[in-house]
Amino acid sequence: MYLCDFAPEYVRAIQPYQPGKPISELVRELGLDEHNVIKLASNENPLGTSPLALEAMNDALNDAARYPDGSGFDLKVALSERYGVSADQIILGNGSNDVLDLAARVFLKPGAAAVYSQHAFAIYPLLVQAIGANGIPVPARDYGHDITAMLDAITPETRIVFIASPNNPTGTLSNKDDLQHFLEHVSRDVLVILDEAYYEYLPEANKTNSITWLDQFSNLLVTRTFSKAYGLAGIRVGFGIAHPDVANLMNRVRQPFNVSNIGLSGALAALHDVEFVQRTYALNRAGMLQLADGFRKLDVEYIPSYGNFMTFCVPGDAVNATKVNQSLLQQGVIVRPLGIYEMPCHLRTSVGLESENQKFLKSLERAIGELA
Ligand X SMILES: *Cc1c(COP(=O)(O)O)cnc(C)c1O
Q: Looking at residue 116, what DSSP letter applies?
A: E
Phi/psi class of residue 209: alpha, beta or left (left: φ > 0; alpha: ψ in -120 to 50)? left
Task: Report how far residue 185's alpha carbon sits from residue 183's, in angstroms, rounded to the nearest whole number.
Answer: 5
Q: Residue 158's beta-bridge partner residues?
A: 113
Cβ nearer to ligand X, comparing 187 with 255 = 255
Regarding 280 and contact with ligand X (CB under 6 A), the answer is: no
Are 120 and 164 in contact by the 8 Å Cβ rule? The answer is: yes
Regarding 332 and contact with ligand X (CB under 6 A), the answer is: no
Rule CB under 6 A: choose which of 45, 50, 96, 363 binds ligand X.
96
Binding piece for ligand X, criterion CB under 6 A, among 102-110, 133-141, 200-208, 220-228: 220-228
Regarding 199 and contact with ligand X (CB under 6 A), the answer is: no
The Cα-based distances of 86 to 155, 187, 270, 305 in angstroms read 32, 25, 20, 32
Regarding 95 and contact with ligand X (CB under 6 A), the answer is: yes
Are 197 and 168 in contact by the 8 Å Cβ rule? The answer is: yes
Q: Looking at the chain, how many residues does it have?
A: 372
Peptide bond into 156 cis (omega under 30): no
Regarding 97 and contact with ligand X (CB under 6 A), the answer is: yes
Give least dist CB 240 to ligand X, A.
Answer: 10
Regarding 122 and contact with ligand X (CB under 6 A), the answer is: no
Helix (H) or strand (E) segment spanning residue 93: strand 90-93
* Alpha helix ranges (H) inside 88-232: 96-107, 123-131, 147-152, 176-185
Regarding 116 and contact with ligand X (CB under 6 A), the answer is: no
Number of residues that bind ligand X (CB under 6 A): 14
User: Hey, how many other C-beta atoms are within 10 angstroms of the C-beta on 359?
Assistant: 19
Give least dist CB 19 to ligand X, A.
Answer: 11
Integer Rg of the chain from CA: 21
Residues 179-198 that bind ligand X (CB under 6 A): 195, 197
Rule CB under 6 A: choose which of 227, 280, 305, 325 binds ligand X.
227
Q: Strands across the sheet with 158-164, in order? A: 90-93, 238-241, 220-225, 191-195, 158-164, 113-117, 134-138
Regarding 350 and contact with ligand X (CB under 6 A), the answer is: no
Cβ nearer to ligand X, comparing 220 with 368 = 220
Cβ nearer to ligand X, comparing 164 with 242 = 164
Give least dist CB 96 to ligand X, A.
Answer: 3
Regarding 225 and contact with ligand X (CB under 6 A), the answer is: yes
Position of minimal CB gap to ligand X: 95
Regarding 210 and contact with ligand X (CB under 6 A), the answer is: no
Regarding 265 and contact with ligand X (CB under 6 A), the answer is: no
Task: Report how far residue 129's alpha carbon sits from residue 11's, in angstroms, rounded to the nearest whole number.
Answer: 7
Regarding 45 and contact with ligand X (CB under 6 A), the answer is: no
Binding piece for ligand X, criterion CB under 6 A, among 65-73, 95-103, 208-216, 296-304: 95-103
Nearby residues of 71 by Cβ (< 8 Å), 6 or more positions away: none
Residues 152-171 that bind ligand X (CB under 6 A): 164, 168
Regarding 258 and contact with ligand X (CB under 6 A), the answer is: no
Regarding 233 and contact with ligand X (CB under 6 A), the answer is: yes
Q: Which residues bind ligand X (CB under 6 A)?
A: 43, 95-97, 121, 164, 168, 195, 197, 225, 227-228, 233, 238
